[in-house]
Amino acid sequence: MRSRLKYVLIGLGIRLILAPFFMHAWDLGTILEASRQFLNGQDVYGYVAERTYMLRQSTGLPLYHYGFAYLPQTLLIFAPFYRLYTLIFPFENALDLQAVEPVILYPQVYVFLLLIKMPVILADIAVIYLLSNREPKIGLFYALNPYVIFVTAVWGNFDPLVGLFLLASYLCFNERRTLSGFLYGLSLIKIYTIVLLPLFIARPIFSRREFTKFILGLSIASLPAMYYLFVAPNSFLDAMLFQGARPVNGMNMYHAVLSVQGILFQTAITRIATPIFATALLSLTHIVLRERLPTLNSLVMLMLAFLISAPVTNEQYLAALVPLALLSQRFDRKLCVFPLLFVAFNATYMYFAIPIFWTDAAFHNLYTVIRGAWMEATGPYSGYVRYFISLSFAFLAFRSLHSHFQPQIPPLSKHLEVTRTTSYTVTAGSPSFEVRKVE
Amino acid sequence: MPNKSLAKSEMRTLVDILFVTLVVSLSFTPFICPRGWDGYAPENLASFEYRGETYHIRYSDETIGTDKPHIFFLEGWPVKSLVDMVEFSDYQSYVNGLNLHDDFVSQGRLTDDGLTVSYSDGGLQLTKLIKVTEEGVVVTYESDQPIELRLSLWRYYFSSVDGSDYKGILQPLKVETKETLRFEFKDGNRAYRGAIKLSDGPLNVKVWRDSDGLNKILIDYVGSRLSIKIALEGANRSSLKIANKDLLYPLMSTVFGLVYLTVRKYAFTVKIRPDRTRH
């Protein structure tokens, strides 16, 4: 109990110290803008659809405005914290984080960043607690993991929140099916967890009662989405369609495509990538169900397959998998290194320190100089480095996925022994084991 | 049981090979990049690019500035690389004395004809259409009323314009006014010749030089429509060459794939000895 509390406090302390001073300006700007519109009663999705329409009209290209394209449950989580910010600063609270030169007010920005990151920080704390409950070392690993800390406290993205919902949904899957369905429904705030839906549904499908409970929970969590589907179907569906139609991007095996700039070309490649992704997911879902693999392993495998084969897999997506993967005890922890490296050659670390660099003109100039020097030094090679990192991640994730197929070796006891079958002569593939009772 | 296990391990090896094949194949996708116009929008600012067998054009790319087209051509074997040919500079171009970059709001849009850039200053409407034909790159300026147009074409550097390098002559360096203007330039050790063909007679043509050489051609024109065709003389249109593609990506994916398969193979050929003491 003591160590659990200690890990929670350590995790909380680190995150609270970092949170006010760093941000991904565009991503947090999106949450800020959407929260503001939501609280003002504006159609959040309509705004994104309108910007997309204008962008397309003006360029003649099938571009999307990268705005708020998440389920509305997200707003119910973040908008109260934004409201709290406006209550603390009723005047002069307008931050424009999406401008080419972000407009930042001090000390407002520190308070805003701390508050807007609170849901994700609290989610991390809950994950630390839940993991520590099962295995204290895993809880500590999560509390101190630089990748998770980066996504939560520095970036400010909410994939760790998705990670909590998935973890919690799994933990109560067997005993509290309605709650599990509800939590899974919440995890859909980042729509990519939809890849787990067939698995979640197929498991309880043999019992109509259990299936109904899960669907009931899922439906309750999806009520805000249903509301928008009813009142603003076009703009809402446009935003959801955007997530499915985004051109290839991120840290994945398609990264070489990004060496050729052009939305038309990248969209064409996405049309190739999407069937690859769908085939991989459907095949794996079929296999894990046919082989009756444990639910936890199956969830981790499907998320890994998503990270490997989806056309768009950004650096922060892995954070949604980390809690479940750590629980499965088959997680290759080296996977966390690659997204952290990728960021250095993509957004760059300096970008996250904008709130610090914008405090005065000298710092601002320093930012320009440092970022310019970094871009000049790495610019000609950054594409190759990113591809190298993407491939490293893809192959390691693929190997990690393989490991879930290997049978778990049960611990030896007086009554049990593990003997290898004659398959030890196999030259490729994993050995198989059989367990038999010693007479 | 052993047969089942063998079948499973073979299946896993097959999946490994399929995965590696997929990754390597994807690294070749830039090679199938189609010709023609394309665009992208970093931070919602539209940039455009034309890729062809001979010519390559960039417009408003953050790496080259926001006031172009910048025309390149493809040269080399077996891998073609981009050779800088000439760029139109809005920073140094004027309409009725107003700077095209600073005093007008411009908006690029892809149309069936090519890239159309619309300029607006409230009263005047001006369009710049950039299209690529068999003969070269055609840039057409068209206005809803007669205008005084001064265009600047840049290159670092021209070897000669209209047959002269203008060494020892005081600026401004005036060129005989005519509809076709030839220029020469070097890239590495190779010398190239190009031509600028105007649809209408210009008022004046001047060249400009800095301490290192001729770097600017200025064209003055009065009227409402001027078309400028830029062509490389003796341009090679062989389609057998690999056009400006990066071989490092396929190389990296192949090495990664081979290493992965080797490691996997090694991992599973480790001899597993049964613990005989238990029998």
Candidates A423, A425, A439, partner chain B, best to mutate (most B CBs within 10 A) = A423
> What's the pLDDT band for B193 if we cut at 50, 70, 90?
very high
CA distance B75 to B194: 14
Taking residue A318's Cβ as centre, other Cβ atoms within 10 Å add up to: 26
pLDDT digits (tens, 9 = 90+) for A317-368: 999 999 999 998 788 899 999 999 999 999 999 999 999 999 999 999 999 9
Those residues with Cβ within 8 angstroms of residue A132's Cβ, 6 or more apart along the chain or in another chain: A3, A4, A7, A8, A138, A139, A140
pLDDT (0 to 100) of residue A210: 87
Are A419 and B249 a contacting pair at CB < 8 A?
no
Number of residues written out for chain B = 279
pLDDT (0 to 100) of residue A346: 92
pLDDT digits (tens, 9 = 90+) for A135-169: 899 999 999 999 999 999 999 999 999 999 999 99
> What's the pLDDT band for B63 if we cut at 50, 70, 90?
low
Mean pLDDT, rounded, for A264-291: 93
Those residues with Cβ within 8 angstroms of residue A134's Cβ, 6 or more apart along the chain or in another chain: A327
CA distance B32 to chain A (A): 9
CA distance B110 to chain A (A): 5
Q: Encoding tokens for residue A405?
A: 């197929």
pLDDT digits (tens, 9 = 90+) for B213-233: 889 999 999 999 999 999 988
Q: Which residue in chain B is spatially nearest to A254 when comparing CA positions? A: B26
Those residues with Cβ within 8 angstroms of residue B183's Cβ, 6 or more apart along the chain or in another chain: B86, B155, B158, B159, B160, B161, B162, B193, B194, B195, B196, B217
Instruction: Decide which of B153 and B172 is more confident.
Output: B153
Say what the alpha-carbon torsion angle A34, A35, A39, A45 is, to the nearest 10 degrees.
20
Those residues with Cβ within 8 angstroms of residue A410's Cβ, 6 or more apart along the chain or in another chain: A416, A418, A435
> What's the pLDDT band for B79 if we cut at 50, 70, 90?
low
Sign of CA dihedral A32, A33, A36, A42: negative
CA distance B227 to B179: 11
CA distance B124 to B145: 8
Are B6 and A423 a contacting pair at CB < 8 A?
yes
All domains in chain B, ordered by first residue: 2-29+246-271 (no CATH), 34-232 (2.70.98)
Average model confidence (pLDDT) across chain A: 89
pLDDT (0 to 100) of residue A420: 42
CA distance B181 to B60: 26
pLDDT (0 to 100) of residue B106: 84
pLDDT > 70 fraction of chain A, expressed in percent and rounded: 91
State yes or no: pLDDT of B3 exceeds 70.
no
For residue B110, the surrounding DSSP H or E stretch is strand B105-110
Mean pLDDT, rounded, for B118-122: 84
Candidates B19, B20, B109, B265, partner chain A, best to mutate (most A CBs within 10 A) = B19
Residue A65: C-alpha distances to residues A26, A33, A73, A318 (Å): 12, 13, 21, 24
Mean pLDDT, rounded, for A55-71: 88
pLDDT (0 to 100) of residue A342: 97
CA distance A372 to A357: 14
pTM of the model: 0.85
Q: Are B252 and B27 in contact (CB under 8 A)?
A: yes
pLDDT digits (tens, 9 = 90+) for A209-229: 888 999 999 999 999 999 999
Instruction: Decide which of A181 and B167 is more confident.
Output: A181
pLDDT > 90 fraction of chain A, expressed in percent and rounded: 68
State yes or no: pLDDT of A247 exceeds 60.
yes
Candidates B4, B18, B35, B40, partner chain A, best to mutate (most A CBs within 10 A) = B40
Q: Which residue in chain B is spatially nearest to A387 when comparing CA positions? A: B249
Question: Can the peptide bond before residue B78 be classed as cis, meaning omega within 30 degrees of 0?
Answer: yes
Mean pLDDT, rounded, for A394-413: 74
Q: Encoding tokens for residue A245?
A: 């139609």
- Chain A residues lying within 8 Å of B79, measured CB to CB: none
State yes or no: pLDDT of A411 exceeds 70.
no
| Amino acid, single-letter form, for residue A94 | A
CA distance A226 to chain B (A): 30
Taking residue A333's Cβ as centre, other Cβ atoms within 10 Å add up to: 13
Please tell me if residue B46 touches chain A, with a CB cutoff of 8 Å. yes
- Nearest-CB residue to B23 (from A262, A391, A399): A391
> What's the pLDDT band for B183 if we cut at 50, 70, 90?
very high
Using alpha carbons only, give the angle A426, A432, A438 rounded to the nearest 5 degrees.
Answer: 130
Classify strands A249-250 and A312-313 as parallel, antiparallel or unpaired: parallel
pLDDT (0 to 100) of residue B234: 73
- Nearest-CB residue to A59 (from B8, B27, B41): B41
Mean pLDDT, rounded, for A273-277: 94
Q: Are B197 and B237 in contact (CB under 8 A)?
A: no
Q: Encoding tokens for residue A217?
A: 């929970």
CA distance A257 to A266: 7
pLDDT (0 to 100) of residue A430: 41
Are A405 and B23 a contacting pair at CB < 8 A?
no
State yes or no: pLDDT of B262 exceeds 60.
yes
- Nearest-CB residue to A269 (from B29, B40, B111): B29
- Nearest-CB residue to B249 (from A263, A387, A423): A387
Those residues with Cβ within 8 angstroms of residue A307's Cβ, 6 or more apart along the chain or in another chain: A252, A313, A317, A318, A321, A393, A397
CA distance A298 to B255: 30
Mean pLDDT, rounded, for A115-135: 96
pLDDT (0 to 100) of residue A205: 65
- Nearest-CB residue to A426 (from B6, B16, B109): B6
Candidates A264, A283, A393, partner chain B, best to mutate (most B CBs within 10 A) = A264
State yes or no: pLDDT of A98 exceeds 90.
no
For residue B192, the surrounding DSSP H or E stretch is strand B190-198
Taking only residues 96 to 125 of chain B, the set having a beta carbon closer than 8 angstroms to any beta carbon of chain A reads 107-111
CA distance B184 to A96: 49
- Nearest-CB residue to A430 (from B9, B107, B265): B9
CA distance B220 to chain A (A): 30
pLDDT (0 to 100) of residue B43: 62
Are B1 and A60 a contacting pair at CB < 8 A?
no
Mean pLDDT lowest among A14-23, A89-98, A176-185: A89-98
CA distance A380 to A373: 12
State yes or no: pLDDT of B245 exceeds 70.
no
pLDDT > 90 fraction of chain B, expressed in percent and rounded: 36
Are A61 and B27 a contacting pair at CB < 8 A?
no
Angle separating helix axes A44-59 and A25-39, nearest 10 degrees: 120
- Bridge partners for B140 per DSSP: B129, B227
Please tell me if residue B64 touches chain A, with a CB cutoff of 8 Å. no
Provide the ipTM: 0.86
CA distance A391 to chain B (A): 7
Residue B45: C-alpha distances to residues A64, A385, B39, B107 (Å): 12, 26, 10, 10
pLDDT digits (tens, 9 = 90+) for B125-165: 899 999 999 889 999 999 988 999 999 999 989 999 888 87
State yes or no: pLDDT of B123 exceeds 60.
yes
- Chain A residues lying within 8 Å of B46, measured CB to CB: 55, 58-59, 61, 63
Mean pLDDT, rounded, for A111-127: 97
pLDDT (0 to 100) of residue B66: 59
Q: How many CB pairs under 8 A join A and B?
A: 149
pLDDT digits (tens, 9 = 90+) for A33-53: 999 999 999 999 999 989 888
CA distance A32 to A38: 10
- Chain B residues lying within 8 Å of A429, measured CB to CB: 5-6, 8-13, 268
